[in-house]
Amino acid sequence: MILDLLFPNRCIHCNCIIDSHFIICTICFEQIHFTHFEYSQENNLKEKCKLLFPIENAYALMQFGKENLSRKIIHELKYKSREKTGKVLADWVTERLDFKNDRPDLLVSVPLHPKKHKERGYNQLHLFTKNLSDFYNIPHDHNLIRRNHYSKAQALKDKKHRLETQNTFTLTKSISNQHILLIDDVFTTGNTLATIAWEILKESNNKVSVLVMAMDE
């Protein structure tokens, strides 16, 4: 209580004081570019994924523009130790996403390399994925995929280096006859998700869908 008075929670965009459970104020919330995609229907994200790997369904919560608020939200989550942002984003997803009759069997988030995890102190996708798992009552596995190489942040790479993901990921165990929902923060080139998807699709009768917090415009 005293800490709340001394260090009140503030909107990450306009800096006004807000409830401790929120990350932005109601006025700034109106500036977020939500996609309004339907998970089980054709959309821009699914079309982009189709060019890279066989995909069942795809969903992006927000558009990730160069100057928009969605970019600031993701950067707060990834680089400024605001892990609780993952829970807020999961709440926004659950208010909008209905799996209907095509529920995945397992939620799997893109992993960090152990060294990067130690540097950051958390994986920005773990709390997000866990909250989705709890809400939809779908199991999640943070350890199914292993990242084999340490690299600098995607945001600091040029496009050429972002495409160099060959042999970056492997499965830690055999899995078959599963519909996997791959979860990542931002879809840019799609190469990271494609690399993981093909590892999953090597196994017998697996299917892959994708959910991202945001996608590049």
Strand-pairing partners, residue 6, are none
Residue 45 has what DSSP assignment?
A: H
Q: What is the pLDDT of residues 46-59, one digit of tens each?
A: 999 999 999 999 99
Contact by Cβ (8 Å): 123, 110: no
Considering the domain architecture, whether residues 14 and 93 belong to the same structural domain is answered as no
Question: Is pLDDT above 50 for 149?
Answer: yes
How many angstroms separate the CA atoms of 144 and 160, rounded?
A: 27
Q: What is the mean pLDDT of residues 1-30?
A: 83
Residue 168: pLDDT band (50, 70, 90) is confident
Range of 6-10, 69-73, 150-154, 158-162 with top mean pLDDT = 69-73
Cβ count within 10 A of residue 1: 5
Give the pLDDT confidence score for residue 126 in this predicted structure: 93
pLDDT of res. 160: 52
Phi, psi of 77 (to 5 degrees): -65, -45
Do 39 and 131 belong to one domain? yes
Please tell me the predicted confidence (pLDDT) of residue 4: 54
Same domain as 86, residue 2: no
Is the model's pLDDT at 95 over the cut of 70? yes
One domain, residues 77 and 96: yes
Give bridge partners of residue 187 from the DSSP assignment. 215
| 27 shares its domain with 41 | no
Do 25 and 64 sit in the same domain of this protein? no
Task: Measure the CA dihedral 10/12/13/18, to 10°.
Answer: -30
Say if residue 150 is in the same domain as residue 54: yes
User: So what's the pLDDT on residue 162?
Assistant: 47
Residue 159: count other Cβ atoms within 10 Å of its Cβ.
9
Number of domains in the chain: 2
| The pLDDT of residue 204 is above 50 | yes
pTM, whole model, 2 decimals? Answer: 0.88
pLDDT for the residue numbered 151: 66
- What is the spatial distance between Cα 185 and Cα 38, in angstroms, rounded to a whole number? 18
Confidence of residue 43 (pLDDT cuts 50, 70, 90): very high
Residues 37 and 26 in one domain: no
Q: Which of 172, 173, 87 is nearest to 126 (CA)?
A: 87
Q: In what order do the strands lie in the sheet with 106-109?
A: 58-64, 207-216, 179-187, 106-109
Q: What CATH number is given to the structural domain containing 192? A: 3.40.50
Residue 156 has pLDDT above 60, yes or no: no
CB 187 within 8 A of CB 157: no
* Residues 119 and 27 occupy one common structural domain: no
Identity (one letter) of the amino acid at 16? C
Torsional sign, CA 99, 53, 174, 143 = negative
User: Which residue range forms the structural domain that includes residue 6?
Assistant: 1-31
